[in-house]
Amino acid sequence: MTIVLIAIVLYLTAAGLLVQAARHDRLDATRAWLWPALGAVLLHGGYHLWVARHTPGGADMHFFAALSLVGLGMAALTTLFGTRRRMAALGVIVLPLAALLLAIYHLYGHAPAPALSWQLQMHAWIALLAFATLSISAWLAIMLWLQERALRRRDFHAWLKVLPPLTELETLLFRSITAGFVLLTLTLLTGVLFVEDFMSQHLAHKTVLSVLSWLVFGALLIGRWRYGWRGRKAAHWTLVAMALLALAFFGSRFVLELVLQRT
């Protein structure tokens, strides 16, 4: 479909502009990438709306659709906050990833969506937004870990200039974790309130892993507030919590939908 191709081209164009700006150390000054990125996000979202209108049951929430929606959320957040100094560096990774996930979803095809109540639809959308926000946290944690390791080893590579300063990166990391933690809390609460019969829907293991991730993120925020956790420790526990959440959200979907062929 033309809309998908245009969105992918715009995503890659925006990423290319960011790479070019980074090579000339102009990442703080450039804004040219924002317009193709914004266009790609709008077309990406429009494609999902089009599919929802032509799919029985409403919005497609199956494995590849959910991945594409997470990519859309990450791209939207990166575009929204990319004007903050060197936060645009995140777009070099996130925008091509969003393009890839959109392409996979389009090529894989679309399955009929089960009819969901508005309460369950709200639960699903909050869950996807939580995952997208915490995915941004995971990428920030990786950037933080790479930057701190390079500084400890005194490997002053040129790519360090592309990243935000260490203290600013830590602040952005914990702000994104806080926002994602609130959304994850809402996800768990709406799940408890609106999802019925966890066992028959194969949700027990997903719930356990989500709660474990929530506990790790909560402990990390308390550790930051109470003990000043930072640097490698913060990055390590962010990635552990995100791994648990990825297993909860997509590990179970992969097994049920692609291996066992269940919805």
CB atoms near residue 153 (< 10 Å): 8
Q: What type of residue is 189?
A: L
Q: What is the mean pLDDT of residues 161-171?
A: 79
**Is the same domain home to 103 and 16?**
yes
Q: Which domain holds residue 23?
A: 1-60+75-114
Residue 5 predicted with pLDDT over 90 = yes
CA 2 to chain centre: 25
How much is the pTM? 0.88
> What is the per-residue pLDDT across 115-147, written as a single tens digit (0 to 9) for each?
667 677 888 889 999 999 999 999 999 988 888
CB atoms near residue 213 (< 10 Å): 25
pLDDT band at 199 (very low <50, low <70, confident <90, very high): very low
**Residues 6 or more apart in contact with residue 85 via CB below 8 angstroms:** 28, 164, 168
Instruction: Tell me if 88 is assigned to some domain.
Output: yes
Q: What type of residue is 116?
A: L
**Is the same domain home to 5 and 28?**
yes
Q: How many domains does the chain have?
A: 2
Nearest 5°: phi and psi at 35? -70, -50
Q: What is the mean pLDDT of residues 172-199?
A: 85
Instruction: Tell me if 3 is assigned to some domain.
Output: yes
**Is the same domain home to 48 and 88?**
yes
> What is the per-residue pLDDT across 41-97, written as a single tens digit (0 to 9) for each?
999 999 988 887 776 656 667 778 889 999 999 999 999 887 665 677 888 899 999
Residues 194 and 121: their CA atoms lie apart, in Å, by 10
**Residues 6 or more apart in contact with residue 187 via CB below 8 angstroms:** 123, 126, 127, 130, 210
Residue 260 predicted with pLDDT over 70 = no
**Is the same domain home to 122 and 227?**
yes
CB atoms near residue 125 (< 10 Å): 16
**Is the same domain home to 122 and 233?**
yes
**Is the same domain home to 176 and 137?**
yes
